Amino acid sequence: QVQLQESGPGLVKPSQTLSLTCTVSGASISSGAYYWSWIRQHPGKGLEWIGYIYYGGSTYYNPSLKSRVIISVDTSKSQFSLKLSALTAADTAVYYCARGDSGNYHLDYWGQGTLVTVSS
Amino acid sequence: QSVLTQPPSVSGAPGQRVTISCTGSSSNIGAGYGVHWYQQLPETAPKLLIHGNSNRPSGVPDRFSGSKSGTSASLAITGLQAEDEADYYCQSYDTSLSGWVFGGGTKLTVL
């Protein structure tokens, strides 16, 4: 059974960098069949795609966040990570990691999500 | 403002049929990319409901169905049940963004 689990701080100060990790079990993170993805949801709002990393390390980011985002993968730990810099209160959201199908572009497995609050 | 447009809310009585629309453009749905639907129950992560316009993952009841035409897609729910009360999101791929786009979400209320 495929499972994804986010981990990281729940509270981060403005201007700092958020670091989140997603640990994957039940699936190979090295598989070329999937995009390992981050999505966020502002409180009471809809879903926003942040970006994904593909087999071999290729990354694709939402243009609106591209200048502040880095997604990386550690295949030895079956983890992929998100770094989002220059945080403001507008980055307060629930952050989800998810597995994307590289053929059809749907997201078939999601983590439970982690709430990140940006506040001093 | 979301790239894909959904109605903010829909409602229906138990047993009824409701539909949720998702309108895109020539750079996403109209470009031939599949439309996918997610159900988000309160305080939980989204769950894949329909992929590739009309395909149900294992375990999703056949009361849920999807369709696509041109630059739009629809999710239909028949035999509405109280447990269907949730937020529903459509999603596709957009060539101008080189990434995924979502609808703003539709809140389904079961009366």
Per-residue pLDDT tens over the stretch B69-103? 999 999 999 999 999 999 999 999 999 988 899 99
Reported as a pLDDT band with limits 50, 70 and 90, residue A7 is very high
Q: Do A46 and B103 touch (CB under 8 A)?
A: yes
pLDDT at B70: 95
Q: Do A96 and B46 touch (CB under 8 A)?
A: yes
**Separation CA A49–CA B99 (nearest Å):** 8
pLDDT at B1: 81
**Percent of chain A at pLDDT above 70?**
100
Q: Which of B34, B101, B103 sits opposite A106 (nearest CB)?
A: B34
Residue A62 Cα, gap to closest chain B Cα (Å): 7
**Separation CA A115–CA B63 (nearest Å):** 32
pLDDT at A113: 97
Cβ neighbours of residue B52 closer than 8 Å, sequence gap 6 or more: A104, A106, B34, B36
pLDDT at A102: 87
- Mean pLDDT, residues A54-67 taken together: 91
In the predicted structure, residue A78 carries a pLDDT above the cut 90: yes
pLDDT at A74: 92
* Residue of A91, A98, A82 whose CA lies nearest to A116: A91
What residues in A contact B89, CB-CB < 8 Å? 46-47
